[in-house]
Structure 1
């Protein structure tokens, strides 16, 4: 009898161990080139370099927007953010109203943390929120989105200090291990978004740099150190082999329109720090920066480590992965069945992460953003209102749909050669798909996601 009980207990534990912990590290404005393993000339990221050495570095990952809130919406829902009329960052209520946006992501939307929570995962969020705003006091708290525990800023309620993120994540990992539950942690770090909250010890690491570069290198070095603390904690707890760790960024790096000094500024959610003059992020040659739908705005780092499951020290330069793929991917790994009423815009990329052969992507990717500026103007990256990627082709469209640019991302990943005039049939085909997608979008935001401040 004892042998039978022991066998049953072993089987139960083996089943529990088959579901990995998931740690998703999401940086804010971290450019593709802002890693020493991606060739940055002075930024030092030894812990992220270690992650790349122990995992696979995917070079064709894209987020669903060139700015923060819609990009995070895609991760949470597995849907393109335009389905929720979230095309820009959540600001104070008058700005949201003027731009035709809601004031927060609906807690009733299909949500990654809730799906995992309902299927036995311990779930937590630490760091930036920005699926609402700290200036909207009646917006739902992160706890209403499927998290057992959270500490956050850019949300209603108490604002967690930005540098407490790693400490809180480690404490949650320890608690989950004691409770023998797999965990899902969103570790959404502040760096390198403005204001730059830099500690003197990190500025001293780069004495040879001028002030702006010194500040930028210092905040990235501090972020890399905190990520290293979390990786070390996984080792100490003997959880590394059972944990999928992913590092990425919500969009490309911010840049000032013209050179300015890195003066002090203040943010209501995170406090005082240096402003946009210290934003020195690079894109690894990709065109454009934050708030653009060119690759510099949406092509960001994506490093995945899961020892024994994901190949170590490998670069995947061809597999096309999107932020909308994360929900179906994480749910497959967690053995969570997606609801019958839910259709993700993404696809599971489990086989891709594991390096297994996979057919071409069966779903196109779509983007919508507010635009400004004129096409063909030198260094103008923000005229694009819509974009679609299907197989190797990427079509960019102006607000009125009267100007297009077409790129072959396989042959020309840096978008240097516009093929729109030569490949008119491809432009027409992709534009038709874009128009069909636009027809599926809501006319406006869900009124249940409006703040009471709109009535004032």
Structure 2
């Protein structure tokens, strides 16, 4: 046999052997394309707009979370439904303004027995009806047992904590010597050693692998407590033993904050790798965002304000979405988006929709993200009881009220909210104020018994209260005639 014949025969045998493998691969891809997408929703806690390096944070890098922007879309005008956690989470899980439910009036929920009513349609319950397995890993903060909980609101499984904040090592909501343990596996309280950010990621990896093994589409809510206080990096277990007030204002540094974010980035990388290793990444939507604007060590540039403020820094958040084959990699969008948009968006991706009796106040973002549709005009509303705050965003314009002071800003041209245009554009100011009052009449009224809070001058130095300036003593200082 000559060399040409031998080579030809080997090629035929190789092609024959490879054909079943190629058919198997194509069949696997076809099944994945025909099945509904998995959904992994990653939520950071008190994470500022510019706290990712892909959004401009200069003093550390976040390569794993940045990967979602490199492989998907980065939102440039994403908003939280509230400047504090419980209220935003109500909007996220219901797809509606939080002010439609009593629990949504809590800023945040602290001790009252209110929560998401069992039976109220939620994003997990609607996906559950569509055949998804649903798991919450991390923070709940939407109502206490026995009346409320993740298992009563559409999640099949829960591994995490129920309150608003937890020590990263002791897993207590109070000091190390208090009886405030708050780590749960479903409705059973548990004790487990480890840094909480790492433990949550490990549970997410186990959940992914379990669902893939079952060949069941999944919705996993991975709600980190990071980088919420207490200010503890992965090597700070000794610090945890000394704390008596987890949110104390005599603790924390930017370097500690960077280590907390760095560990969350590392764990997000592990979770994304688990999707890759399980062969599930291509048919999984991954969303990363925050519950509200950043807290004291966050970077909210180019905005002013922080958590609890209806200034842009308290509301603007990072948001990224990856869906291979549907969303163009390394893309950005100027679409104004808000937490309550995720319910109609993710339900549409899953081939489902909101409950007609509880229509969403948000919009389906998929036409803009996957079909190159024009950006949709938005008019969004906020209120916050502390400092009597109100806000409306309509196109580029924003009405803002803080106590007795009112403003009109073009937040596209003036993201720092410095140039008050209400006297220059009185018609716009009047229209937005009227719009706010009409919208407000459709929501639950303010509840004086609900929790609310903000920062005070004795806590944060940049929250000073201006006082009258006394006149200079006789013969001291410069009078008008000597001023230069």
Q: Taking structure 1 as the reference length, what is the TM-score of the superposition?
A: 0.78
Which of 73, 82, 89 is matched with 1:72 structurally?
89
CA distance in 1, matches of 2:218, 2:154: 13
Q: Offset of 1:16 from its aligned partner? A: 7.1
Query: Superposition pairs for residues 33-44 of structure 1, below 5 Å?
Result: 33-44=50-61
SS at match of 2:221: strand
Structure 2: runs of 5 or more not aligned: 1-22, 164-181, 239-250, 451-484
SS at match of 2:386: coil
Aligned equivalent of 1:254: 295
Kindly indicate whether residue 368 of structure 2 is the aligned counterpart of residue 352 of structure 1.
Answer: yes
Question: Take 1:390 and 1:69, find their aligned partners in 2: how far apart are those partners?
Answer: 25
Matches within 5 A, 1:47-446: 47-85=64-102, 86-93=104-111, 96=112, 103-132=114-143, 136-155=144-163, 158=189, 162-163=196-197, 164-200=199-235, 212-255=253-296, 280-316=297-333, 318-354=334-370, 356-361=372-377, 363-372=378-387, 385-398=389-402, 403-443=405-445
Q: Which runs of 5+ in 1 are unaligned?
A: 1-5, 97-101, 204-209, 256-279, 373-383, 450-456
Q: Are the counterparts in 1 of residues 343 and 354 from structure 2 also a CA contact under 8 Å?
A: no
Distance 2:371 2:410 in 1: 24
Give me the whole-angstrom Cα distance separating, in 2, the residues matched to 1:355 and 1:420. Answer: 37
Aligned-pair CA distance for 1:44: 2.2
CA distance in 1, matches of 2:79, 2:190: 29
Helix, strand or coil at the partner of 1:40: coil
Q: Helix, strand or coil: the match of 1:406?
A: strand
Asked if the contact 1:24–1:185 (Cα under 8 Å) also holds between the matched residues in 2, the reply is yes
> Cα offset for 1:251?
0.9
Contact 1:53 1:313 in 2 (8 A): yes
CA contact (8 A) 1:29 1:290 kept: yes
**Distance 1:443-1:36 versus aligned 2 partners, 3 A rule:** closer
The CA deviation at 1:410 is 2.8
User: C-alpha deviations, 1:2-40, integer Å up to 9, x for none?
Assistant: xxxx9xxx7997487342111110100011111122222
Aligned to 1:442, the other structure's residue is in SS state coil
1:216 Cα deviation from its structure 2 partner: 0.7
Distance in 2, Cα, partners of 1:357 & 1:72: 28
Change (3 A) 1:211 1:179: closer
> Aligned-pair distance for 1:387?
1.1
Matches for 1:3-14 after TM superposition, within 5 Å:
14=31
Report how far residue 160 of structure 1 moved.
7.6
Q: Let me know the Cα RMSD of the aligned residues.
A: 2.7
Partner of 2:3: none
Q: Secondary structure at the match of 2:431?
A: helix
Query: Is contact 1:125-1:152 (8 Å) kept?
Result: yes
Tell me the SS of whatever aligns to 1:200: coil
- Partners in 2 of 1:11 and 1:53 — Cα distance? 26
Which secondary structure does the structure 2 equivalent of 1:303 belong to?
strand
Contact persistence 2:135–2:220 (CA under 8 A): yes
2:142/2:149 contact within 8 Å kept: no
Mapped to 1, the partners of 2:28 and 2:133 lie a distance apart of 21
Q: Give the match's secondary structure for 1:191.
A: coil
Q: Do the aligned partners of residues 176 and 160 (structure 1) sit closer, same or farther apart at CA in structure 2, a change above 3 Å counting?
A: farther
Q: Distance in 2 between matches of 1:306 and 1:353?
A: 10
Structure 1 residue 444, shift from structure 2 partner: 6.6
Q: Residue 387 of structure 1 aligns to a residue in which SS?
A: strand
